[in-house]
Structure formats: C-alpha cells, structure tokens
Structure 1
Amino acid sequence: MKLTDYKTLGKSGLRVSPLSLGTMTFGEDWGWGSSPETASALISRYTELGGNAIDTANVYTKGHSEKIIGEHLKKTALRRDSLVISSKFFCNMYPGDPNAGGTSRKAIIESLENSLRRLQTDYIDVYWMHAFDPFTPIEETMSALNDVVRSGKVRYIGVSDTPAWKVAQAQMITEFRGWPSFIGLQLEYSLLERTIEGELLPMAEELGLGVMPWSPLKEGILSGKYTRSNQGEAQSGRNGSRLNLELSDHTYGIIDQLHVLAEAKESSPAAIALAWVMGRAGVTSTIVGARTMGQLNQNLQALSVVLNTEDVASLDRLTEPVLSFPIPFLRDGARHMAQAGANINNRSSVVPDLLPEDLDDVY
C-alpha cells in the first residue's frame, strides 16, 4: 500500500490517503511538540510521498498548528487544492467567553472564520464537530453547518467523539431537511481501545460514514518503546517523561506480541499496531501524529506491512473488548435462539421458540 492508494471518505467522492497527517504536535505552545521548522519538514515529507490529508483543529497548540500549516502553504509551491485540509470546532479558545466554544451557530461561524484566517485559505475541506455538545440542539448545529457548506467556506462535514445515538439523530435530520450530512467519523481506536466496535463502528457502516481513527498507538504505549525490560525507566513522551510502571501485565502481553510480529515481518511494533487498525472494517484513513521525522518514517512503515489472518487473530484474541449492553445480550441471545431452534424438529416457525432452560444464561 502507498499513500497514493486513495479511498473515498464515507458517502462522498472525496479521496483521502490511507494515512492522514495529524498535527496536534505542531508547535511547542503546550510545552512539547515540533518546532515550526520541523513541522514544515514533516508536511513536506508526507506530501512528497503522495499524502493528501492533513488533520488539525482550532485548539491544537492554541491555534499555532493551523498557523504552521498556513505558513507552509504560503512559502512552498504546494498547490492548496491538491490537499484535503481538515479542521475542527468545539473547543473554546477564549476562556471566560461562554459563546466561544461548543456547537452553537455563533461558535461555529466564529471558529470557522478564525481557522480560515490562521490557515490562510478560503475554505476547509472537512470541518469536524470535535465533540458532543449537550447544551446545543443538534438542529441548530446542523443548520449552521448547512449554511457554511452552502457559503463555499466548507466542502464537507464530519463528526468526532460523539455518541452513536446523537450522530444517528443528526444524520436523519439532515436527510429529512436536504442538508449536507456527516461523511466521516473520528474516534479513538487501537488495540487498547476497541469498545467502539459495540455501537459506533456498526453505526458508521450502516449510515455511510468513513471512519478515521485517532490515537492508533494509544499515546505511544504501542509504539514499541515500552517493554517489560525497561519497566520503571523514564520514557520521553508528549508530557515530557512517563514511567511505564502503570502498564498492566495484559498490556505487556499485547506489546510482546507486537514485537514478535515485528521481528517476523522485519518491521516495528508501531507499524504492526497501525497496520491492524488500518485493516479494520470501515476504516478509511488512520490519523498518525509525529513530533520528529523518525516518528513519521516509523509510522509510514505500516503501509508496507501485510498481516495475514493468523496474525490478526492473534492480536484480536489478546485485545477482545468487553462491550456494553445490549451487545452481549443480543450476541448470547442469538446463540441460544439457534440452539433452541436446532432442538425443535419439524417446526415451520420463522422464529424458533426459546425453551425455559435456554434462558438461564441469557438473563
């Protein structure tokens, strides 16, 4: 696979690379991250290889991330229209102003205008609702997003970190009203975070949203730098240093398997972990962040990793998630229904009867 193996995002004709360049680490305003010079070099490396999807947000490094991207576009020959630039609204950039954050019409328009100015562009390709705002009616949010799309300042809209029921409600409202619908869903997904497989991933598949996972290496835990042998030693990270004393034996078991597969495939644990996420059903483009060129190159190795059925199964068994109700109930209920039906001969009922004893394990 290459960065030029583009995929369409959800129910749209928008084509994006299988790996998106995440820019939360662009700028040192949070006390960690890449200098503007390094960040610009990372963009150049990614785009030179054919990558076209750059993901940012108004709040990343206090707006500096967007400024770095805008300055890069201004000083290079890179054609703006060749890129898919995404940004997000929701986070409040002005503490003390109750209307500067959230998903209200006022907040959306203000956030959009500020992001356009920092990015030095006339439009944003995908404008993402960064998180669920329980204080704003979803009708107001979708109406405002319809207006900014119609204005030409936004091409498509997406949603991130929002309950499945609220996303479904938004999609139905837009379909009924004839407004633009969300085409993508951003959410945390990794070998250490698979609970989205219960509700969010099936919802995305049913409603036609392309999935863009973030934190596929679980804040670096799956990068390969944390091992049993260096347990207790300080490791560099986005917050300076981190002791891996907190990692459980179960987590180390996953890391061990990543090292086994990495050795067998002459790759890295990070690349294996990323390849697993990239291969999941419904995933369109996986967001990878990098503070250094070495980290970016390591992440790009995932494009050349091929996991066979046995490889995937070994990781699946180690990381099977505990899903919330009603997923276990429905899954177990279906098994008991099938067993009960097999015990009943010569019955023409479409739905087999459940025998009392078959319900013991269900309830």
Structure 2
Amino acid sequence: MSLDHYVTLGRSGLRVSPFCLGAMTFGEDLGWGSSVSESQKIIDRFIELGGNFIDTANFYTKSHSEKILGDHIGRHPARRDRLVLATKFSGNLYPGDPNGGGSGRKSILAACDNSLRRLQTDYIDLYWLHNWDVHTPIEETMAALEDLVRAGKVRYIGVSDTPAWKVAQANMLAQFRGWSAFIGLQIEYSLLERSVEQELVPLALEFGIGITPWSPLKSGALSGKYTRTSTEKPGRGAFVEPFLNEKTFTLVDTLQEIARAHETTVARVALAWVQGRPGVTSTIIGARLVSQLEDNVKALEVKLTSDDLARLDALTRPTFGFPQSMQPYFPAIHNGGTRVNGVQAPPSPFILQKGEKPY
C-alpha cells in the first residue's frame, strides 16, 4: 500500500490518504517542533508521496501551525482544493475570556472564522470538536456546526477525545434532526493505549465513524529510540518518560524481533499495527524532519502476520471492566449451546433440559 491508496472516511464520500499528516509540530513557538522552512518541506514531501490529508488545530503552537499551512497551502487555491484540510476548535487562546474556547455557539463561530483567516481559505474540509466541553449542551454544539456546514464554511465534522456515550448522543440527535453527523473519531490509539477498544472503537464500528488515531507511537516511546540500554534523552520528556518502563521495554524487545523478521523498523511495525486495527481509516503521523516522515510512511509497506499480531496482542491486550468483563458468558446465555455465525456457544447451566418447560 502507498499514500495514494485513498480510503473513504467513515460513512462518507470524503477520500483521504491512509496516513494523515499531523501538524502539531509545525512551528517552534513552544520550544520544540519544526521550523517554518522544515514544516514546508514536510508538507511538500507528504503531498509528493500522495498524501492528501493534513490535520491541525486552532491552538497548536499558539495558532502558528494554522498560519504555516495557510501561507504554504491556503493562499494557493489550486493546491488547497486538492487537499483535505482539517482543524479543530475548543482550545482557548485568550486568557481571561471564558468564551474564548469550548463548544458553545459564540466560541465555535469565532474560532471557525479565525481558523479560516489563518488558513487563508474559505472552507474547512473537516472541522473537529477537539474535546468534550462539559459546560455546553451537545444540542447547541451540533446546531452551531450544522449552521457552519449550511453556510459552506465547513464540509464535514468530526469529534476527538470525547466519551462514547456523548458521541452516540450527538450523532443520534443529528440523525433525528437532519443535521450533519460526525464522520470521524480522533482518539489516542497505540499498542500502549488500547483502552479505547472497550467503548470508542465499538462505537465507531457501529455508527460507521472513521477512526483517525493520534500518538500511534505513544509520543515516541515506540519509536525504537528508547530501550533498556538507550542513553538518548527523550524529547518532550514529560510526554514520554512516564512510559519508559519495563512493560514498554518488553514490548519494544518484541517489536525489534518482528522488525528484524520483516527487515524494517520498530516504529514502522508499531504504525502498521495501528493502521491495521478494525475501524481505523487514517493514522495521524507527525514529523519534525522530512527524513522522519519518509521513514514512517514506509510502515504502509509492512504486512504483519497472524503470529506477529498474536504476540503483540498477548503483551498488550487490555483488561476491560463491566459490562465487557461479562462478555464471555453472553453466548451461553443468548444462544443456548447452538452455533451462531460460525461460533459454537457453550452450554448454559440455566438451559432447560428436553421435556422441561419454563415456569
């Protein structure tokens, strides 16, 4: 597979590349990230390789990320129109202003206009709710987003870092009222973050929402740079250091073995695992250098075997709480010892014997 093997995002007709270029590192305003010049080179190389999906947010690098994209892409309509440009709202850039962020109508409309100005475009292809605002009714948020879609400022909407029950509420509300619904679900997902498989992944599969994972390398912990014997100091240490422990090193050991068998790298194996998960449409990859981008894109060439997947699953399989913890018992209760959809249900201790009748 290559970057120009496009896929539709969720239950929509929006075609995106299987990897999405994350622009959170565009700009050095926070003391780390890519220079303007390097960011432009990364954008150009991503497009050259066939990528068409770029993701940013209104407050990434103090909004400089959006401006870099606007200066390099937005002001050139022929280039801009060939790309799927996504940004997010919710982040507050204005100290002391309670309406400067969040998901209320006043904030959303202002954030959208400001993003359009910085991106130097008159429409956003995919507008993400960045994270759930507990102070705003979801009806207000969805109504404001529908107004933006009807005004032509936004083409599609997505949701990020929000509980499954709230996403379900939002999309059912939209369906009943004839509004635009979320077509994308942006969540943290990696071999070290699989808790999303309890509620959010099943939600996406049921509603036909395309998953776009962020931090598939767990902030670099699965990049292959950090091992038990590594002396390299982690960049953005606060994000990485909590995960440099025995569990991670054991996983990296296995990733190294799999990488050697496939003549590839640890990072590519970890990315290939995420991209192959059920419901995943386009994985967000970030890069500070063009060389990092080129290296990570090669993960699309990695084909993991069933044995590879089983080894990784044995090390990282999450333990779910109620009601998923009851799941092994349900086939016996539901199917009465019969075979359904090719799966043989065990006999239930509660099942009636032949000749018995229920009370």
AA matched with 1:322? T
Give how far 1:234 is off: 4.1
Q: Does 1:238 align with 2:236?
A: yes
The alpha-carbon distance between structure 1 residues 347 and 241, as it changes in their structure 2 partners (threshold 3 A), is closer
Q: Which runs of 5+ in 1 are unaligned?
A: 354-363
Q: Which residue of 2 aligns with 1:152?
A: 152
AA matched with 1:341? S
Q: Which residue of 2 aligns with 1:103?
A: 103
Q: Which residue of 2 aligns with 1:359?
A: none
Q: Does 1:276 align with 2:283?
A: no
Higher alpha-carbon deviation: 265-274 or 315-324: 315-324
Higher alpha-carbon deviation: 299-308 or 160-169: 299-308
Residues 28 and 34 of structure 2 are in contact (CA less than 8 Å); yes or no, is this contact kept in structure 1?
yes
SS at match of 2:10: coil
The alpha-carbon distance between structure 1 residues 171 and 42, as it changes in their structure 2 partners (threshold 3 A), is same
Give how far 1:324 is off: 2.4
Residues 234 and 243 of structure 1 are in contact (CA less than 8 Å); yes or no, is this contact kept in structure 2?
no
Give how far 1:325 is off: 1.7
TM (normalized to structure 2)?
A: 0.92
Query: What does 1:133-172 correspond to in 2, within 5 Å?
Result: 133-172=133-172
AA matched with 2:202? P
Query: What does 1:220-239 correspond to in 2, within 5 Å?
Result: 220-230=220-230, 233-239=231-237
SS at match of 1:237: coil
Q: Which residue of 2 aligns with 1:361?
A: none
AA matched with 1:327? Q
AA matched with 1:149? V
Residues 224 and 268 of structure 1 are in contact (CA less than 8 Å); yes or no, is this contact kept in structure 2?
yes
Partners of 2:211 and 2:217 lie apart in 1 by 16
TM (normalized to structure 1)?
A: 0.91
The alpha-carbon distance between structure 1 residues 317 and 347, as it changes in their structure 2 partners (threshold 3 A), is farther
CA RMSD of aligned residues (A): 2.3
Q: Which residue of 2 aligns with 1:301?
A: 298
Q: Does 1:311 align with 2:295?
A: no
Q: Does 1:47 align with 2:47?
A: yes
Q: Which residue of 1 aligns with 2:348?
A: 341
Partners of 2:355 and 2:215 lie apart in 1 by 50
Give how far 1:201 is off: 0.4
Residues 332 and 348 of structure 2 are in contact (CA less than 8 Å); yes or no, is this contact kept in structure 1?
no
Q: Does 1:9 align with 2:16?
A: no
The alpha-carbon distance between structure 1 residues 240 and 334, as it changes in their structure 2 partners (threshold 3 A), is closer
Q: Which runs of 5+ in 2 are unaligned?
A: 335-344
Q: In the TM superposition, what whole-angstrom CA distance separates every residue of 1:140-184 from its partner, at most 9, and x where no partner exists? A: 000000000000000000000000000000011000100000000
SS at match of 1:235: coil
Q: Which residue of 2 aligns with 1:60?
A: 60
Partners of 2:347 and 2:105 lie apart in 1 by 54
Q: In the TM superposition, what whole-angstrom CA distance separates every residue of 1:287-312 from its partner, at most 9, and x where no partner exists? A: 00011112111211101111111111
The alpha-carbon distance between structure 1 residues 118 and 341, as it changes in their structure 2 partners (threshold 3 A), is same
Q: In the TM superposition, what whole-angstrom CA distance separates every residue of 1:239-272 from its partner, at most 9, and x where no partner exists? A: 599768x622221111001111111111110000
Q: Percent identical across equivalent pairs?
A: 57
Residues 16 and 53 of structure 1 are in contact (CA less than 8 Å); yes or no, is this contact kept in structure 2?
yes
AA matched with 2:322? F
The alpha-carbon distance between structure 1 residues 97 and 344, as it changes in their structure 2 partners (threshold 3 A), is closer
Aligned length: 349
Partners of 1:111 and 1:241 lie apart in 2 by 27
The alpha-carbon distance between structure 1 residues 153 and 74, as it changes in their structure 2 partners (threshold 3 A), is closer
